[in-house]
């Protein structure tokens, strides 16, 4: 079989996390609301009303455009995209067409051993439509989502595998949360992706007919659906058939694609400038204000952390999963100064464990970077062993007290629980085979000497009774 190359472009719709909708005062978040309870005359398209632009939506779109290295237009316009569909009460969608807020741009994806540059073909603001659904024999419509602010962002056909497509969405999601412009939760449709997929023989440069996959609401679904579709297309071509420009619907339950419709021609949306809205005039002052505190971006920070702190790529990737998490790492690594990998290791294991307990974010933790470093220092000094250091980290979070306070209040003997003493006992036993032999041969008075070793290792802070118990247990074999 000849070698095929997969060509993928992704069309994404990103829900901006503004308080209100893009052209009216209704809440932009109606996830838990009953159908048609979060609507007003503007977003439900009643005649005689006028849209008023939500500035926050523009600002968030500008942040995204800047992060994607797009050209940000000083003047951009809204247009009407006309089509007739039950979820669109006005009969048109207010969107941006040829003079959108951004033009061009790219995202560089760090893949295994190479970088994939994905160029951006479209980046514009628009309003969301409503939602239709079948209910028994009825066809229902919910307008709650009408007028929710979206950025539509479309990539060029630059992606070459399902993994690259998944990586694009992972990095986009990370970026959106990093900039705090979208919750980017795919399950809640904050981030929606359609994939355009075609194949060609390796080395060819033209684009073959593509199919469009819809209803992908997780990154795993994107990966799975593309793989299924690529297999189908190869099979078709190998059998001498032509790929038709279908729109396909991903069925999560059966992990298969169903044909929704065939798409012969582009619909004519009869775009024209929206007469009810002024152009967006992004003055230099406004632009400056929006971009004033623009952060170091996730992939730039990942690279810097990997190099500057000399930690493995997967550690750097892990600690830059979100901005607050990476701020925590940087603070801790700067305080600790020594081996930053120790810090990233603690974050990868124990701190992550704390977050998993009840799905917390790092900024919600009582544990701070300072406290983490205190604990690592106690471990370095031999005051604590790893098991009790981990227990201390847990106590800090549960009792909401600084580590040194807990150590002081309880005395280290209590902090150094039996497991820790056991560990110390094991090392001492391993390090002193002669004394162990004597003890086992009957010189039981040596136990005092062993306890002395534990006391000196813990600087006198171990509980001697517990130390003795741990030693006897270990010496017994």
Quick one: what does residue 332 bind among Zn ion, Mn ion, none, with the CB cut-off 5 to 8 Å set by partner type? none
Number of other residues whose CB lies within 10 A of the CB of residue 258: 11
3-state secondary structure of 277: coil
Question: Mask of contacts with Mn ion, 124-153, x by CB under 5 A?
Answer: ----------------------------x-
Q: Segment near Zn ion (CB under 5 A), from 40-48, 54-62, 230-238, 290-298?
A: 40-48
CA distances from 293 to 60, 287, 327, 328, 406 (A): 13, 11, 15, 19, 38
Q: Please state the closest distance from residue 20 (CB atom) to Zn ion, in A.
A: 8
One residue of 4, 27, 40, 377 binding Zn ion per CB under 5 A: 40
292-321 binders of Zn ion (CB under 5 A): none
**CA dist., res. 458 & res. 48, Å (int):** 79
Number of residues that bind Zn ion (CB under 5 A): 5
Q: Please state the closest distance from residue 30 (CB atom) to Zn ion, in A.
A: 10
Number of residues that bind Mn ion (CB under 5 A): 1
Q: Please state the closest distance from residue 180 (CB atom) to Zn ion, in A.
A: 24
Helix, strand and coil percent figures for the chain, each rounded to 5: 40, 20, 35
Q: Please state the closest distance from residue 27 (CB atom) to Zn ion, in A.
A: 9
Contact between 43 and Zn ion (CB under 5 A)? yes
Sign of CA pseudo-dihedral 369, 374, 376, 377: positive
Number of other residues whose CB lies within 10 A of the CB of residue 32: 6
10-39 binders of Zn ion (CB under 5 A): 24, 26
Query: Among all residues, whose Cβ is closest to Mn ion?
Result: 152
What contacts 186, CB < 8 A, 6 or more positions away? Answer: 169, 173, 192, 193, 217, 218, 219
CA distances from 313 to 110, 112, 308, 444, 467 (A): 11, 11, 12, 52, 41
Q: Please state the closest distance from residue 147 (CB atom) to Zn ion, in A.
A: 5
Quick one: what does residue 24 bind among Zn ion, Mn ion, none, with the CB cut-off 5 to 8 Å set by partner type? Zn ion
**CA dist., res. 114 & res. 108, Å (int):** 10
Q: Choose between 90 and 323: whose C-beta lies nearer to Zn ion.
A: 90
**CA dist., res. 296 & res. 67, Å (int):** 10
Q: Please state the closest distance from residue 34 (CB atom) to Mn ion, in A.
A: 26
**CA dist., res. 476 & res. 450, Å (int):** 13
Quick one: what does residue 152 bind among Zn ion, Mn ion, none, with the CB cut-off 5 to 8 Å set by partner type? Mn ion
Quick one: what does residue 65 bind among Mn ion, Zn ion, none, with the CB cut-off 5 to 8 Å set by partner type? none
Question: Mask of contacts with Zn ion, 123-162, x by CB under 5 A?
Answer: ----------------------------------------
Q: Please state the closest distance from residue 24 (CB atom) to Zn ion, in A.
A: 3
Contact (Cβ atoms closer than 8 angstroms) between residue 172 and residue 12: yes
Binding site for Zn ion (CB under 5 A): 24, 26, 40, 42-43
Binding site for Mn ion (CB under 5 A): 152
């Amino acid at each position: 079989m000849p070698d095929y190359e997969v060509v993928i472009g992704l069309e994404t719709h990103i829900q901006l996390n503004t308080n209100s909708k893009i052209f009216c005062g209704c809440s932009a978040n109606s996830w838990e609301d009953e159908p048609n309870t979060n609507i007003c005359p503007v977003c439900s398209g009643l005649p005689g009303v006028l849209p008023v632009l939500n500035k926050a939506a523009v600002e968030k779109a500008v942040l995204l455009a800047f992060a994607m290295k797009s050209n940000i237009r000083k003047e951009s316009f809204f247009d009407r995209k006309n089509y007739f569909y039950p979820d669109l009460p006005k009969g048109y969608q207010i969107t941006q067409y040829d003079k959108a807020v951004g033009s061009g741009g790219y995202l560089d994806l760090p893949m295994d051993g190479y970088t994939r540059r994905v160029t951006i073909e479209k980046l514009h603001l628009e309003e969301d439509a409503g939602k239709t659904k079948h209910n028994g024999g009825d066809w229902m419509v919910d307008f709650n989502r009408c007028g929710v602010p979206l950025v539509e962002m479309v990539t060029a056909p630059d992606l070459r595998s399902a993994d690259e497509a998944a990586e694009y969405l992972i990095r986009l999601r990370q970026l959106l949360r990093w900039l705090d412009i979208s919750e980017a939760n795919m399950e809640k449709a904050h981030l929606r992706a359609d994939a355009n997929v075609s194949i060609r023989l390796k080395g060819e440069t033209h684009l073959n007919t593509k199919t469009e996959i819809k209803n992908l609401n997780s990154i795993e679904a994107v990966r799975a659906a593309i793989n299924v579709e690529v297999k189908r297309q190869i099979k078709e071509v190998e059998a001498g058939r032509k790929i038709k420009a279908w729109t396909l619907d991903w069925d999560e339950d059966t992990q298969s694609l169903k044909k929704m419709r065939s798409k012969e021609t582009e619909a004519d949306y009869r775009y024209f400038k929206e007469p009810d809205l002024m152009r967006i005039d992004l003055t230099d002052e406004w632009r400056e204000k929006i971009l004033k505190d623009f952060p170091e971006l996730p992939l730039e920070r990942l690279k810097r952390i990997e190099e500057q702190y000399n930690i493995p790529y997967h550690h750097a990737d892990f600690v830059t999963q979100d901005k607050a998490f990476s701020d925590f790492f940087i603070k801790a690594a700067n305080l600790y100064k020594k081996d930053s990998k120790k810090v990233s290791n603690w974050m990868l294991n124990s701190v992550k464990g704390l977050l998993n307990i009840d799905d917390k974010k790092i900024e919600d933790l009582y544990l701070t970077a300072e406290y983490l470093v205190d604990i690592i220092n106690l471990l370095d000094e031999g005051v604590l062993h790893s098991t009790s250091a981990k227990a201390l980290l847990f106590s800090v979070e549960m009792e909401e007290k600084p580590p040194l306070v807990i150590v002081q209040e309880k005395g280290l003997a209590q902090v150094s629980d039996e497991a820790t003493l056991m560990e110390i006992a094991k090392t001492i036993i391993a390090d002193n085979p002669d004394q162990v032999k004597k003890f086992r041969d009957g010189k039981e008075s040596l136990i005092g000497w062993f306890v002395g070793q534990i006391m000196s290792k813990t600087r006198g802070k171990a509980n001697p009774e517990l130390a003795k118990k741990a030693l006897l247990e270990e010496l017994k074999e």
